């Protein structure tokens, strides 16, 4: 005679729970993680353009959000999801390297400028002048109507940029990173750089 309990009967459930309780908890956890991950993927918005600030100033989060909204109205949709999203990334560093953390941030900045996804940079004057010599930035004269080669422009007094709440008397320059040889062949990178130029051109010309 078959003594096995019927599936989903009380006896079957008691036996199942006794032997597979831990497996069930693990399964439920994995399922919850999968559902959460899927929801995040569905609800997440891809960034079309990143603007990075490098310097020693801090900006209020509400000012950053307002600036992101203004910039988003100017750009093209890179990934075709119907949403134009700009992300402002502040990399705040001290004027002098005094700790391992300062050194780590400096290394992060160099790596970001060399191979990162940011094409529009806002920089304190001293940093801009330092990086300008490395031929990392686009000549903006054609885009902004200058007669001489121009690799960065002072934007501290420009209304569109001053939404960030730039401290009075602070000199901040905007520059656009050149495309690497690899990026030149990637349509999304080309569009990101074009977006950077569009933002700078539009806000600069509005004054």
For residue 99, pLDDT beyond 50: yes
Look up the CATH architecture of domain 49-206.
Answer: 3-Layer(aba) Sandwich (3.40)
% of the chain beyond a pLDDT of 70 = 76
What residues form DSSP beta bridges with 119?
A: none
Give the three-state DSSP class for 130: helix
At 21 the pLDDT is 63
At 132 the pLDDT is 86
For residue 127, pLDDT beyond 70: yes
The average pLDDT across 188-193 equals 91
% of the chain beyond a pLDDT of 90 = 44
For residue 196, pLDDT beyond 50: yes
At 41 the pLDDT is 41
CA distance 120 to 143: 14
Q: What is the 3-state secondary structure (H, E, C) of 39-91?
A: HHHHHCCCCCEEEEEEECCCCCHHHHHHHHHHHHCCCCCCCCCCCCCEEEEEE
Where is pLDDT greater, at 91 or 40? 91
DSSP label of 117:
S
Give the three-state DSSP class for 128: helix
**For residue 63, what pLDDT band results from cuts at 50, 70 and 90?**
very high
């Amino acid at each position: 005679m078959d003594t096995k309990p019927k599936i989903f009967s009380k006896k079957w459930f008691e036996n199942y729970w006794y032997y597979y309780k831990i497996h069930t908890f693990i399964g439920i956890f994995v399922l919850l993680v999968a559902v959460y991950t899927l929801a995040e993927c569905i609800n997440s918005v891809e960034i079309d353009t990143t603007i990075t600030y490098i310097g020693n100033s801090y900006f209020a989060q509400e000012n950053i959000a307002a600036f992101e909204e203004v910039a988003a109205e100017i750009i093209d949709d890179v990934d075709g999801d119907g949403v134009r999203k700009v992300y402002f990334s502040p990399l705040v560093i001290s004027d002098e390297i005094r700790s391992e953390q300062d050194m780590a941030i400096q290394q992060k900045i160099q790596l970001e400028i060399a191979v990162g996804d940011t094409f529009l940079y806002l920089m304190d004057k001293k940093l801009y002048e330092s990086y300008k010599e490395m031929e990392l930035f686009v000549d903006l004269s054609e885009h902004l109507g200058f007669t001489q080669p121009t690799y960065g422009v002072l934007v501290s007094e420009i209304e569109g940029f001053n939404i960030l709440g730039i401290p009075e008397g602070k000199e901040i320059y905007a520059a656009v990173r050149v495309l690497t040889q690899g990026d030149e062949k990637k349509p999304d990178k080309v569009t990101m750089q074009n977006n950077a130029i569009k933002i700078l051109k539009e806000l600069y010309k509005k004054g």
